[in-house]
Amino acid sequence: MFRRLFLDHPASVGESYGEHFGVASRFGVTMIAAGVAALIHGILPFAFKTTGSRTIIRLHRQIAEKRAATAAATEQVKTVEYVI
């Protein structure tokens, strides 16, 4: 039960629990900051004109690159021939 709740997902993205906590926390704080900027932009249209969209693009790129690297590493492991 512990493994399923706390370890399976981080392992599925190639991270330990601690690494996943750090990455997810950084993403969360970044999204909160961009959300606050978007709220301020709603009140003051001249402020933070592109902060929200630039943040979304940057975070999406980071996730896509991480997924591609994890997929490539998994594929490499599947294709390696072991010689003893």
pLDDT for res 77: 66
pLDDT band of 20, cuts 50, 70, 90: very high
Tens digits of residue pLDDT in 27-83? 999 999 999 999 999 999 999 999 999 999 999 999 999 888 888 877 766 666 666
**What gap in Å lies between CA 56 and CA 20, rounded to an integer?**
19
Instruction: Return the pLDDT at 71.
Output: 80
**Which residue bears the tokens 């959300």?**
35
Only one residue has tokens 């993403």, namely 27
Domain boundary assignment for the chain: 2-76
Match 């021939």 to its residue by tokens. 81
HEC string of 15-57?
Answer: CCHHHHHHHHHHHHHHHHHHHHHHHHHHHCCCCCCCHHHHHHH
